[in-house]
Chain A
Amino acid sequence: MLQLRENKYTMERLSRFISGSTGILPVIHRLEACATGFRGIMILAVTILAITSGKVYAQEPILASALIEKIREYDGKTVTFQGEAIGDLMHRRRGIWVNLLDGSGTALGVWLTPKQAQLIKTLGSYNYKGDVVQVTGVFNRACSEHQGEIDLHAASCRIVTPGEPIKHPVSLFRLQLALVVLLLAFLLIFIWKRYFKPKVEAKKF
């Protein structure tokens, strides 16, 4: 249990270091101080183990489905997530919500600062493919700041691919077919009204 706690503590420090949310010097000083004792050796060992075993989540963009599938494992970790900004930028008192749709078709809510949100110019909709945004930040399976929601608090944000309009050309074949079947339908309606329509009154149960 103690080792697990140590591991989590080290991973959090490492994550913050990678994401750049804290400076490098305090981390080095802390590590140096710890290294004097057995506790410090353990932390260093765990850190090396974590790095060599590829548990640094913040390097490659991860899919939302992978985050949800291992939701407790990724909770509180710094991850990199990439997806198309869709729908709306929802301005709130302390930040802005945007939903990013990843390659697997799952969208994840990302909490941005106003400055980060300014980078997003195009939002995905029927008429537009939104900006593809890459964010690195802390993933929360149940965010205490947002009443238990699953979210990603962005530490950094960049536009990978700007959005663009989507063209929806009208199919000439469908248009012609529509005219034909509508004409046929009107003909049938005429025949029905002229020759068949029953004259009935509403009756009781």
Chain B
Amino acid sequence: MVLRPAPEDFKIIFFNTGRVVVGLAYLMFLPLITAVAFMEWAVAVDFALSIGVTLTIGYLFLLIFHTDRDPQWVHGMSTAAFSWLVCTLVGAIPYCLSGHFASFLDACFDVMSGYTTTGLVLIQNLDHVSYGLNMWRHELTYIGGQGMVVVALTFLVPGFSGAYKMYVGEGKDEKLLPNVIETARAIWLISIVYLCIGTFWLWVGGLIEGLTPLRAFFHALWLYMAAWSTGGFAPQTQNTMYYHSPLIEVFYFIFMVIGSLNFALHYSVWKGNYREVYRNIELRSFAVTASCAFTIACVALTVSNAFPDLLSTFRFTLFHVISAHTTTGGMSVYARQFITHWGPMATIGVILAMAVGGSACSTAGGFKGIRIGIIGKALAQDIKKLVSAESAVVIQKYHHIKDVVLEDTTVRAAALIIFLYIITYSVATAVGAFYGYPMLDAMFDAVSAGSNSGLSCGITAPSMPSLLKVIYLLAMWVGRLEFNAVLVLLGLGYATITGK
């Protein structure tokens, strides 16, 4: 028998969602300040209005659903999933007011794409977007990379015992430090330090490549935010291709790889444990799958004579395979080039890289390296069992920060999540194919949305069918939250309808 949730359960979820919404309102001050600094007064008014609306909604949630009860697991997970939906709606207000979107759905799509660090965009006339709105776009993806709940926990909420449950609901479960607030702050410390380093080097790159110092600074800041958060946004339509610069691509490449690594790994290295870099199962898994995808794409492009020389082939293949694998979505070719220029085999290599994705507890999406590593280890364990004596006990271990004995429950959990990702990719592909897109094209953008990659072969555009936009939006949402939080929220909804 399914028990119907009590009204108090919803109060806890809405109350904590209110906290996250209030946090989002405070984040809107940065684009407001940027707009004022550049005397973009119309944009400043839009952001003032958005802040007012968001604060009002947030505090109404807090006042109406006020409760002193601490969230349990079901509340924490549901809050994480629900707050992302509410934040998508309110985060779309500045987008909608800007006039750069054909509809509110398009605005919501781009906000979800930002939060989930996907990078698919439906924005129009991006090359004429204000500094203020560009700051908001990139801030969204930067915040989304760390996790909005992490942000709220770090700066806005003084702390409560349900914090960890919301934190896990957002797809992160690493305990860098004993306290969840301290863990969230450690994640931010790592991110801010890299922000300074990354912005500086990309700024230098911009200056060398002919940008003015001020524009070079803002482009560097935004590109860094996009690369580190594996978001893939850019201030210009052409993405990284705009700069015509291998130097900027190299810096971008470095920071998207670093951003796709597990925060626990960062923290371990931060604490001086450098051996972790080559012992960690996720990095080993990443090296294997990235090499496979790179080889497939590189051979295909070489055979089809897509580029004039080996160096060019290497440059474009490596950048896009790693951009796909880290689920960043930075592009230095046109979307349609994957189909018209790269050909099916190279495109499949990129799709495989997107599907696998980066590390768990990072800013990346996809299956995650640790799950692929675990499945690989389980396979090795089974083969060992087959070739060993019947009485032999085969123990398999893997290294992730510490040595861990591989258990069946771990393998089952990893396989289940991978299975759910495959279902997500398949459903989104099927809907694309239903609308008449070729199967490879449909698969490319579907996997990109579900794995939060952001590469596109041209399907994702304002003119695409609305249902497909909704499907991609949901795929981004469930992919980023890694299903658990969304399934709990859906379960809660089901229990509300059918429970007794």
Contacts and interface: CB of A to CB of B under 8 A. Distances in A.
Interface of A: 64-65, 68-72, 86-92, 96-97, 99, 101, 105-107, 109, 124-126, 129, 141-144, 146-151, 166, 168-171, 174-175, 177-178, 180-182, 184-185, 188-189, 191-192, 196, 198, 200-205
Contacts of B46: 174
Nearest to A146: B244
Contacts of A200: 158-160
Given A71-B340, A90-B209, 5 more contacts: A90-B244, A97-B210, A107-B238, A125-B128, A203-B163
B29 to A, nearest CB: 12
Interface in B19-58: 25, 40-43, 45-46, 48-49, 51-53, 55-56
Interface stretch (B59-67, B363-371, B396-404): B59-67
A170 B306 CA distance: 49
Given A147-B312, A168-B42, A109 B241 contact: yes
B336 A203 contact: no
Given A68-B337, A106-B334, A198 B308 contact: no
A178 B210 contact: no
A202 B179 contact: yes
Q: Most chain-A CB neighbours within 10 Å: which of B49, B178, B242? A: B49
B342 to A, nearest CB: 10
A192 B159 CA distance: 17
B68 interface: yes
A91 B333 contact: no
Given A126-B128, A146-B244, A203-B161, A174 B49 contact: yes
Contacts of B180: 205
B255 interface: no
B45 to A, nearest CB: 5
Nearest to B160: A200
B127 A124 contact: yes
B63 A192 contact: yes
B246 interface: yes
A99 B148 CA distance: 35
Interface in B87-137: 97, 124-125, 127-131
23 contacts: A68-B337, A71-B340, A72-B340, A72-B341, A87-B236, A90-B209, A92-B210, A96-B210, A106-B237, A109-B244, A125-B128, A142-B312, A148-B311, A149-B241, A150-B334, A168-B42, A171-B45, A174-B46, A178-B52, A185-B25, A201-B158, A205-B164, A205-B180
Contacts of B128: 86, 124-126, 129, 166
Interface of B: 25, 40-43, 45-46, 48-49, 51-53, 55-56, 59-60, 62-63, 66, 68, 97, 124-125, 127-131, 158-161, 163-164, 175, 178-181, 209-212, 215, 236-238, 241-244, 246, 306-309, 311-313, 315-316, 332-334, 336-337, 340-341
B55 A174 contact: no
A57 B60 CA distance: 61
A71 B97 contact: no
A141 B244 CA distance: 14
A109 B333 CA distance: 11
A58 to B, nearest CB: 21
A100 to B, nearest CB: 10
> Mostly helix, strand, loop or mixed at chain B's interface?
helix
> Mostly helix, strand, loop or mixed at chain A's interface?
mixed
Given A92-B210, A148-B316, A174-B46, A71 B40 contact: no
Q: Most chain-B CB neighbours within 10 Å: which of A71, A89, A181? A: A181
Contacts of A106: 237, 334
A198 to B, nearest CB: 6
Nearest to A70: B340
Given A168-B42, A170-B45, A86 B236 contact: yes
A68 B48 contact: no
A151 B340 contact: no
B236 A126 contact: no
Contacts of A205: 164, 175, 178-180
B63 A191 contact: yes
A126 B55 contact: no
Contacts of B62: 192, 196
A4 to B, nearest CB: 15
Given A126-B40, A174-B49, A200-B159, A87 B55 contact: no
A181 B246 CA distance: 47
Contacts of A198: 68, 160
Contacts of B175: 205
A91 B206 CA distance: 11
A64 B238 CA distance: 12
Contact of A177 (B49, B124, B246, B332): B49
Given A109-B244, A148-B313, A184-B52, A141 B341 contact: yes
Contacts of B236: 86-87, 99, 107
B55 A188 contact: yes
B238 A99 contact: yes
Nearest to B125: A105
B205 to A, nearest CB: 12
Contacts of A105: 124-125, 237
Given A92-B210, A142-B312, A170-B45, A181 B179 contact: no
Contacts of B49: 174, 177-178, 181
B162 to A, nearest CB: 9
Contacts of B158: 200-202
B31 to A, nearest CB: 13
Contact of A126 (B130, B163, B243, B336): B130
